[in-house]
Chain A
Amino acid sequence: MAMWLFIIADSATFAGCLVAYGFIRNATPNWPRPFHGITNVALMTAILLTSSLTMMFAVRHAEAGDKAKAFRWTLITAVCGIMFAALHLREWFGMIGEGATLFHNPWGTPLFSSLFFSITGLHLLHVTGGVLALLAVGLRYRGGRYNADDLEITGLYWHFVDLVWMFVVPLVYLLNLAHS
């Protein structure tokens, strides 16, 4: 129940951020559309969705009492999270290389960069926290200090991180895709 309350509170935080983003985007003339390709974000989405599936496998094996397999799938989920974070950082550095920072945007209003880095940064922070939680809980589960329920609760958080991404992608990336 505590994890559900946390998820509900956190979903309100993300909803607030995304509504603020929508408000500012709508009220700002000449909103930039700097994204030319979707390869990176599509790959990030596929990795995050796959990590949800691997997390499900981990929970299923934990429920069945197979500790070794549960731990292995938890590790695979954490690796997916690390890959997602690496792709995200690569994208960030690419944009920073083009001159976009938290307070400067080479394509127009600085609000775009501020919102982009804030929202994706908040999500990346959740992914990083999730990877650390998966590793910590997975190791303790393997060591016998935690049980299958603990792994399932961590899984709930991980699915939530995936769920938030389903809204971040269309609003922050796809709506800002350059149409030539």
Chain B
Amino acid sequence: MTTAGEHKSSAGKDIAVYGCLLALAAIQFFIAYQDISALQMLVRMLIVAIIEAGVALLFFMHLSENRGLKWFVMIFTVAVILGMQYGWTDSFRLSNGVPWAR
């Protein structure tokens, strides 16, 4: 059971996190209208998305309260992302190594 005071401060924190997530989402939309290359856009948007996901994980999904789980999720995520890079570079070979690429 939580007290009324704790409940009120928790609600305040939730609203602050929500505002933060909305602002980060707005940044993504702002980046979409910038006159930059697709690669630069992708990198910037992904950085914002990772920060956004981190905030949601830590505060909405209470990952900050569970240290063991936090490490497990972080290590797993990094392993999956690194694993997926194995075939990624092949897409550049496809776009540069076929006749219609030139």
Contact = CB atoms under 8 A, between A and B. Distances in A.
A49 B25 contact: yes
Contact of B76 (A8, A22, A23): A8
Nearest to B73: A8
A87 to B, nearest CB: 15
Nearest to B14: A56
Interface size class of B (residues with CB under 8 A): 35 or more
Contacts of B69: 4
Given A159-B60, A166-B53, A60 B31 contact: no
B27 to A, nearest CB: 10
Chain A binding surface, main DSSP class: helix
A57 B1 contact: no
Interface stretch (A75-83, A117-125, A136-144, A170-178): A170-178
Nearest to A26: B91
Interface string B60-99: 1100000001000100110011001001101110110000
30 contacts: A4-B73, A8-B76, A11-B77, A15-B81, A16-B84, A22-B88, A22-B91, A26-B91, A26-B95, A28-B95, A29-B95, A46-B22, A50-B18, A52-B18, A56-B60, A63-B2, A159-B61, A160-B61, A163-B57, A166-B52, A170-B45, A170-B46, A170-B48, A170-B49, A171-B42, A174-B29, A174-B32, A174-B41, A175-B42, A179-B35
Given A27-B90, A170-B46, 16 more contacts: A15-B80, A15-B81, A22-B42, A23-B87, A23-B88, A38-B29, A45-B25, A49-B22, A53-B15, A60-B2, A60-B7, A60-B11, A163-B56, A169-B25, A174-B31, A175-B38
Interface of B: 1-2, 4, 7, 10-11, 14-15, 18, 21-22, 25, 28-29, 31-33, 35, 38, 41-42, 45-46, 48-49, 52-53, 56-57, 60-61, 69, 73, 76-77, 80-81, 84, 87-88, 90-92, 94-95, 100-101
